[in-house]
Amino acid sequence: MSTSYLPATTDSIAQALEAKNPSDAISIYYRVLDDPSSSPEALRMKEQAITNLTELLRQENRGEDLRSLLTSLRPFFSLIPKAKTAKIVRGIIDSVAKIPGTSDLQISLCKEMVQWTRAEKRTFLRQRIEARLAALLMETKEYSEALTLLSGLVKEVRRLDDKLLLVDIDLLESKLHFSLRNLPKAKAALTAARTAANAIYVPPAQQGAIDLQSGILHAEEKDYKTGYSYFFEAFESFNALEDPKAIFSLKYMLLCKIMVNQADDVGGIISSKAGLQYVGPDLDAMKAVADAHSKRSLKLFETALQDYKAQLEEDPIVHRHLSSLYDTLLEQNLCRLIEPFSRVEIAHIAELIELPIEHVERKMSQMILDKKFAGTLDQGAGCLIIFEDPKTDAIYPATLETISNVGKVVDSLYVRSAKIMA
């Protein structure tokens, strides 16, 4: 910051806007903020300077400078209304979030602001920053810390009955429990979010997030048709807002179609008017998986997983469902191939299915243990020996039933004879 200040006027703001390079503009905005005047006009100009300065620092990827700015503005916050303070603080934190690779900086910044808001008794702002902090902790897989923070926050917000924030927190809690593989609690938190959302007007982006989470939970329970409906609703919300999350909703819609054996519909959805806007690696990946599924080809499936690793394997939701689909496809193909044989070389099966021998051998041993078919692996000879399914002789159950009926008759006769003798 420069030692000499500029008056907080429209002329100073115009001077910054006309600056030839960003560093000069940034320097001018800092000098405007140094103006000691606290008149209503000066405060309004400073707010404008903060907004412009924040945007410039974001464009220059100067995250640490944004953090320093937020700290240096604390005396200024005592001069303006709390609502405006909240808007500025959240705006600066949002700007830091748009700079890539700043997760740790965002977490430390949120923690600093939580301490400041506690000291200043700014409850409304603190609760929102804590919700943001919990979301950041979840992204960095600090699940226990995030859950502890949310547990206290939920109780506090419920007491205040702040429905809009409660929807955000319940939705975040649902995502957190889902990440921890606790489906019952994830569903309970989502139900709480929906209940709170029904009582107020929910912005389309937030409604889309609720629908997206609903679809994920239904898909996890193998209810892919209901999941598709929710993903479609989420896609429509995000698409109307031109939100980047629209591509994920569309991707999960295609996943649901594949999982219910309607892979032929994938091409139609991608070539639709809405789908064509999002053509790219994500949709190409789902198209490749759909083609492999339609042709029942494990080789094409594995090729798709290798070619689109970032889109398929690094997305935990898609990866989980495709792993299940791959296992089912592999089992179906293996059962079909070994059906004509009573003894067959593992190498021959691996050649037919076009997969490595070790992979096929491991899968067949797993299927034998799971009793998908009766057989044994002769690893010395490198063969699979298939047993015929033992047929149960119908005479044994019939004999047991007859003996049981005779026993009942004898018991009945004994009771009658006992009554006559008495």
Q: Which amino acid is at 246?
A: A
Report the first-to-last Cα separation within the chain, whole angstroms: 114
Burial of residue 23 (CB within 10 Å: 0-12, 13-18, 19+) is exposed
217: tokens are 């939970």
Average pLDDT by consecutive 10-residue portion of the chain (422 residues)?
A: 71 86 88 87 90 90 90 90 91 90 90 92 91 91 90 88 89 92 93 91 92 94 92 92 89 90 86 86 89 82 85 85 84 81 84 82 84 80 79 77 90 86 74
Alpha carbons 394 and 294: distance in angstroms, whole number? 41
pLDDT at 1: 43
Instruction: Indicate the pTM of the whole model.
Output: 0.76
How far apart CA 361 and CA 349 sit, in angstroms, is 9
Q: What is the C-alpha to C-alpha distance for residues 113 and 118, in angstroms, rounded to an integer?
A: 8
Structure tokens at 403: 């003996």
pLDDT, position 2: 43
How many Cβ atoms are within 10 Å of 77's Cβ, its own excluded?
19
CB atoms under 10 Å from CB of 334, counted, come to 22
**Backbone angles phi and psi of 173, in degrees to 5:** -65, -40
43 Cβ contact partners less than 8 Å away, ≥ 6 residues apart: 8, 79, 80
How many angstroms separate the most distant Cα atoms in the chain?
123
Average pLDDT for the chain: 87
pLDDT digits (tens, 9 = 90+) for 116-158: 999 988 988 999 999 999 999 998 888 889 999 998 898 898 8
3-class DSSP state for residue 385? strand
Q: What is the pLDDT, as a whole number, of residue 422? A: 66
DSSP 293-325: HHTT-HHHHHHHHHHTHHHHTSSHHHHHHHHHH
d(CA 50, CA 53): 5
* pLDDT 10s digits, 100-109: 888 899 999 9
Beta strands in 346-394 (DSSP E): 375-378, 383-386
- What pLDDT sits at residue 102? 86
